[in-house]
Amino acid sequence: MKRVLKIKEMGHRNKYEASREILQAIQRYRRIRPMFYRSNVYLHEQRVLALVNMALPFIQEREPGIDVPMLRAFAMTHDDLEMYYGEERAPHEAPDDREIRRGRALRSLNGRYEFEVNGMPAKIVQLRYGLQGDLESQVVKYADHFDNMGEAMHEVHAGNDLFREPLLFNVSALRVERTRLPQLTRLLDQGHLLFDVPELSEDILAQRKPYSPYDFWRSALSKNEDPYVRNSLVERKEYAGEREIRGAI
């Protein structure tokens, strides 16, 4: 309830900016401590936007009719409903459970989610994204999982073994999503690093061998024009006693 009241109280301000402040205060992976490079929901949305923008020339080449403003609007707001429901889905939680909570969150929006994103009503953007019926929403859904993979590997490379399980889970989820998102057919298996995710072996993890999807993730973030996104790769937020990280950068 506090998050809902907060966005009401900020009604005299730009509601989009107010909602971003709320999302910035919602940590990701709240069940896991520490997370060296702790992210938040707003940062995650901006990272997904960075991934989409980095891959945009390839996407437009393969899908010339893609609606770029809608694609970016989906990326910028795809997890906004975190404001209206609690903890993120754990690996053992059924996807249906999250969809039930998403439906409840949508019904709770009422007049509290009244702003535009790229010239479109944010509520309509949320409804369309939830339907997952078009190319733009499915690209963002895929990029959402891709960012989950990237930040988990970033933690593992920094020496945080608590993220090995989330990493393996998210690589598996990415490979499953390839079969569940039919609109991506023309983008998959074309040699682009965002859309070709090989299996992740224990050998790669143990020896810290190069893994091309992670390299793409880091490149997209490090080249982003927003310093908040770039700096998130190097600004350490949490520590585990005196243990030194092994250096992900």
Residue-wise pLDDT for 170-205, tens only, equals: 999 998 988 899 999 999 999 999 999 998 988 888
Are the C-beta atoms of residues 197 and 170 closer than 8 Å to each other? no
Mean pLDDT on 119-130: 93
Of 86-90, 159-163, 170-174, which gets the smallest average pLDDT?
Answer: 86-90
3-state secondary structure the chain: CHHHHHHHHCCCCCHHHHHHHHHHCCECCCCCCCCCCCCEHHHHHHHHHHHHHHHHHHHHHHCCCCCHHHHHHHHHHCCHHHHCCCCCCCCCCCHHHHHHHHHHHHHHCCCCCCCEECCEEHHHHHHHHHHCCCHHHHHHHHHHHHHHHHHHHHHHHCCCHHHHHHHHHHHHHHHHHHHHCHHHCCCCCCCCCCCCCCCCCHHHHHHCCCCHHHHHHHHHHHCCCCHHHHHCCCCCCCCCCCCCCCCCC
Q: Is 110's pLDDT higher than 70? A: no
Q: Is 1's pLDDT higher than 60? A: no
Of 24-28, 100-104, 199-203, 245-249, which gets the smallest average pLDDT?
Answer: 245-249
pLDDT at residue 103, as a whole number = 66
pLDDT at residue 95, as a whole number = 56
For the ranges 59-68, 90-99, 102-111, 203-212, the one whose mean pLDDT is highest: 59-68
Q: Is 235's pLDDT higher than 80? A: yes
pLDDT at residue 133, as a whole number = 95
| More reliable by pLDDT, 90 or 121 | 121
CB count in 10 Å sphere of residue 248:
20
Q: How confident is the model at residue 5 (pLDDT cuts 50, 70, 90)?
A: very low
The ranges assigned to domains in the chain are 2-231
Q: Is 3's pLDDT higher than 70? A: no
Q: What is the Rg, in whole angstroms, of the alpha carbon atoms belonging to the chain?
A: 18
Q: How confident is the model at residue 111 (pLDDT cuts 50, 70, 90)?
A: low
Q: Is 244's pLDDT higher than 50? A: no
CATH number of 2-231: 1.10.3210.10
Mean pLDDT of the chain: 86
Of 42-51, 120-129, 145-154, which gets the smallest average pLDDT?
Answer: 120-129
Residue 116: HSE in the Cβ half-sphere, 13 Å Cα cutoff: 4
Q: How confident is the model at residue 245 (pLDDT cuts 50, 70, 90)?
A: very low
% of residues, the chain, pLDDT over 70: 80
pLDDT at residue 53, as a whole number = 98
What six digits make up the tokens of 185? 């057919």
Sign of CA dihedral 67, 68, 71, 76: negative
For the ranges 2-16, 29-43, 228-242, the one whose mean pLDDT is highest: 29-43
Q: Is 243's pLDDT higher than 90? A: no
